[in-house]
Amino acid sequence: MASGFAHMAFPNESPAYREARNQLLGAEIALRRQTEAVAEMRRALPPGGEVPEDYVFERIGADFRPEMVKLSELFGEHSTLLLYSYMFGPERDAPCPGCTHLLDCIDGAARHVPQRAALYAVAKSPIARLAAWAHDRGWNHLKLLSTAGNEYDAHYYGDTGALTPAMRAERGYKDGEVWDEPMLNVFVRDGGTIRHFWGSELVFAPDDPGQDHRGLDFMDPVWGMLDTTPEGRGKEFFPKVNY
């Protein structure tokens, strides 16, 4: 298994600990390989569907005034665009704490990801509200866009509007109710054509017993760090907007 690491030993650990730890290391190596295998499958996806329209978003411009921007303009110099749907619509008094803690982390990543791909968070609230919240939150790198007035959320599962009756029944959602959902979508541009490449559909997959969807854990360092602790994530803990 991980016999190559048999020489490792932390101070005063027991032989039983080292044996169990090496067994765990073997599982961690297998998980690492599985993670890469899944990433290879993702990269090998055939071309996704062409976007139905060049969605128009609202953002804060260089002069700090709201301006309109098209989806095709968001790519900049890149051929890939990541859009994270933030659960902060105008009907909410406060944003989703789960999304907010994730974007706290992504703000740091937003220094680096744009070296390879364009990255934005989108939400249904007016852009002035989103910009004020980002300022209060201290997000200095993450760029936010408003989807107010376009159909992006409805088409790409940034809300529950596109869920099938079967999915609604499975989750106990009432007909006619529409609210925002967390969703990461990746788009690619090839010449003048923009296609959907991948979306975090695991968010909507049936949960395993005792878990939530965990559909975005791959990009969430909070849960990853807690998973290394003896207490784990805990059954009661969930991130808050403020503590």
pLDDT category of residue 5 using cuts at 50, 70 and 90: low
Over the stretch 154-168, which tens digit does the pLDDT of each residue have?
Answer: 999 999 988 888 888
**Radius of gyration of the chain from its Cα atoms, rounded to whole angstroms:** 21
CA 106 from centroid of its chain's CA atoms? 9
Please report the pLDDT score of residue 172 as a whole number: 80
The whole-angstrom separation of Cα 70 and Cα 212 is: 34
Give residue 179's pLDDT: 87
The chain-wide mean pLDDT, for the chain, equals: 93
Give the list of residues 6+ apart from residue 143 with CB closer than 8 angstroms, or none.
Answer: 59, 110, 119, 120, 121
pLDDT score for 1: 47
Q: Give how far Cα 133 sits from Cα of 95, 103, 107, 164, Å.
A: 9, 12, 13, 33
Q: Is the pLDDT of residue 3 over 80?
A: no
pTM for this predicted structure: 0.93
Of 65, 64, 82, nearest to 120 by C-alpha is 82
pLDDT at 236 over 90: no
Asked if the model's pLDDT at residue 2 lies above 60, the reply is no
Q: Which residue has the higher pLDDT, 175 or 22?
A: 22
Task: Give the Cα separation of 227 and 80 in Å (integer).
Answer: 31
Rounded average pLDDT over 87-101: 95
CA 159/CA 184 separation, integer angstroms: 12
pLDDT tens, residue by residue, 58-91: 999 888 899 999 999 999 999 999 999 999 999 8
* Separation of alpha carbons 74 and 56, rounded Å: 10
CB 159 within 8 A of CB 123: no
Average pLDDT over residues 14-22: 94
Residue 6 pLDDT class (50, 70, 90 cuts): low
Pick the closest to residue 159 from 144, 147, 142 (CA basis).
147
What is the full DSSP assignment across 212-233?
---TTGGG-HHHHHHTTSTTTT
pLDDT tens-digit series, residues 182-231? 999 999 999 999 999 999 999 988 888 888 788 999 999 999 999 999 99
